[in-house]
Amino acid sequence: GENVEQHPSTLSVQEGDSAVIKCTYSDSASNYFPWYKQELGKRPQLIIDIRSNVGEKKDQRIAVTLNKTAKHFSLHITETQPEDSAVYFCAALLSGTYKYIFGTGTRLKVLA
């Protein structure tokens, strides 16, 4: 079946450093790739997304890049802050459906 692989499963960075989380998807026709942040005990919240006709998107300290050929997309967080500590999930929308496949999550810890 279709799947999304996400790495690493845990990531610790010093405050102010950058963090990168990577995902690879299997459905080459997937066309929408959101990233969610989930704090402990809370619901997932969309932080940034990218569509297949765009290679990169930025929103302040957060950016997402997409390589369609490699079926690979990444989340980049610069100048990390303690409040960035959370679990981050990538997802891919299967083409022609309303089915989202999620990665298994990355627990990011920003050390003060």
Rounded least distance, CB 105 to other proteins, Å: 5
Among 85, 103, 108, 110, the residue binding other proteins under the rule CB under 8 A is 103
Contact letters (x/-) for other proteins, 40-69, by CB under 8 A?
A: --xxxxx--x--------------------
Residue 95 touches other proteins, criterion: CB under 8 A:
no
Question: Which of residues 14 and 96 has its CB atom nearest to other proteins in the complex?
Answer: 96
Paired tokens of 110: 């920003």
Question: How far, in Å, CA of 79 to CA of 61, rounded?
Answer: 7
CA distances to 25, 40, 42, 53, 70 from 73, rounded to whole Å, are 8, 25, 25, 13, 9
Q: Which residue, 18 or 45, is less far from other proteins as judged by CB? A: 45
The burial of 103, by beta-carbon neighbours within 10 Å (0-12 exposed, 13-18 middle, 19 or more buried), is given as buried
- Tell me whether residue 65 is exposed, middle or buried, using C-beta atoms within 10 angstroms of its C-beta: 0 to 12, 13 to 18, 19 or more: middle
Say whether residue 23 binds other proteins (CB under 8 A): no
Residues that bind other proteins (CB under 8 A): 1, 6, 9, 32, 34, 42-46, 49, 89, 91, 93, 98-105
